[in-house]
Chains A and B, each alone.
Chain A
């Protein structure tokens, strides 16, 4: 068995010297694996929400065209990294083979059902057949294979909940785990894109951390998601607005916080141009956490400077230690969350 690099650089075809994520093309030959790789028999791809939205739009909603676009991406790159959004997603499958160098080092066995928690944007993938596209939950069932590198993180699918339920939550596992780190008792927290998958988990976790002296405000887009979030009861206040319009949102937050604005703002929306809204709604000394893959670096950086705000802006890191356990635990402890996730995503 050939020796592989921890980060998977042995699979990079071009450009040379980069890692698999920024690479334009990686080797997705699965006939032979390297000594530190894990071969996965893939069942389901959970496409990143920004990526799926873009593909769906490009295809005009046509399933056959969605399948064509996806096959084309993998044919060109050897991985499913959306060329427009740059993002990937994750996958669910069964361990088929474990590289020699990992035997005894990993807790995985052949036949274990796992979800990869590294992005599809760097995971060598081969799609043999697209079997089913579930547009409402951004999931695609396939016949295919994938490779997990030594540095790649994963979670074993727990036995006490259905796999699709676990997968949908693990996909956004970083968001509630980072929320847990950021929000302190008494904080005023704004969650933008609060009605979506990661949004609901963040609202639940934020309220848990902010406590009775804190205030959690949820901003949703559609009336339906607004109503749903109101009924879940995680937030102190839920309202509906277009997050790309900073001025009306700013006015609303001023009213809700008596002009104090928010200590922490967490942005989860999968559309562009919401950076300014996030910045303006946050205190000068506060923190904005950008989880949205649609965030523009320059719009955020120059935006804060432009309005003279000394806010700390953090690039959402999908990984933080223990994030899978934290997130699955939320579904175990909240009946309401589990119910709504089962209804919507499983």
Chain B
């Protein structure tokens, strides 16, 4: 068996010297190196920004979407959307374990979800069985490779598989929220009604406590109403997050002109950087989870309005993120019910 690199560089076809994520093409031959894992894939959970782009480009035509997904994987050896750059994750069963794969507790047949992005995971699809518009999931017959540095979670027995997958897909968001939000903080969650938004709101309410404020900005009236009904925020603003001044004025009203300590951006549409920056206090922090974030818009935007705030690039991985997010489902009947209804 051939020896592989920890980060999977042995699979990079071009350009040479890069890692699998930025690579244009990776080798998706499904025979493993000594430190790899081979997975029989059942479901792809496409990143929301990517799924939206594909759906739009194909005008919602399922056959065309299938073709597009096939052609992306054919061309790149992985499911990395060439427009958004993003991937998603997958669910499957362990088929083969390389002798030098670090986790010795994993067994053949274990059901796992990969928590590294599809944008770097070698993938080969033989058949697309179903595309589900409601939850961005694609059921497939396929195989994939997990590298030594790749993170994953063994799916729990006490939570249905698709529910666990929907939660694990955005596991980084509540885990980072848990680190950022302190007791008494005023928190703004932009795109708070979506999947990661709901988990962030739940966690923010828990951390900020009764003396804090959690303000959710949500585009869809239905999602906003739900957040209100479920008590996942102290204030809900129904607005288009790209409309900077409208959101700014409403947040300022709620906070008596003070702005927020922490702002978490979860929306999958572009041009919401400025809104996030303006609603945040000087010395506050903006966490950008949205893959539609533009680096230069954020950097120059803060400078442009003379704001001394920390702008953080959302890292989908945080130690313990899988357990934390699955625990939310275990401890909150409300979130569990909502997720079961919407994403399963």
User: Which residues of A does B touch, CB under 8 Å?
Assistant: 7, 9, 17-22, 85-88, 117-119, 121-122, 151-153, 174, 244-248, 273, 275-276, 280, 290, 293, 295-321
Contact = CB atoms under 8 A, between A and B. Distances in A.
Contact of B17 (A245, A293, A314): A245
A319 B303 contact: yes
Interface in B107-131: 115-117, 119-120
B303 A119 contact: yes
A305 B301 contact: no
Given A17-B244, A245-B18, A312-B315, 17 more contacts: A17-B242, A21-B304, A86-B294, A86-B300, A119-B300, A122-B300, A247-B17, A247-B19, A290-B313, A295-B295, A297-B295, A302-B117, A302-B291, A304-B316, A306-B119, A320-B308, A321-B308
Contacts of B301: 19, 21-22
Contact of B19 (A7, A306, A315): A306
A38 to B, nearest CB: 14
Interface stretch (B56-64, B80-88, B91-99, B136-144): B80-88
Nearest to A16: B243
A207 B204 CA distance: 38
Contacts of B278: 7
B184 interface: no
A7 B305 contact: yes
Instruction: Pick from B7, B18, B296, B316 the residue with the most CB of A within 10 Å.
Output: B296
A228 to B, nearest CB: 26
Contact of B306 (A85, A310, A319): A319
Given A119-B303, A298-B86, A300-B313, A273 B18 contact: yes
Given A18-B274, A298-B291, A317-B310, A151 B119 contact: no
B297 interface: yes
Q: Is the interface of A mostly helix, strand, loop or mixed?
A: loop
Interface of B: 5, 7, 9, 17-22, 84-87, 115-117, 119-120, 149-151, 172, 242-246, 271, 273-274, 278, 288, 291, 293-319
A311 B176 CA distance: 12
A276 B296 contact: no
A88 B276 CA distance: 21
B116 A87 contact: no
A311 B172 CA distance: 12
Contact of B315 (A152, A301, A316): A301
A306 B302 contact: no
Contact of A313 (B84, B242, B315): B315
Given A18-B274, A297-B288, A315-B295, A246 B19 contact: yes
A206 to B, nearest CB: 19
Given A17-B245, A19-B244, A305-B172, A293 B315 contact: no
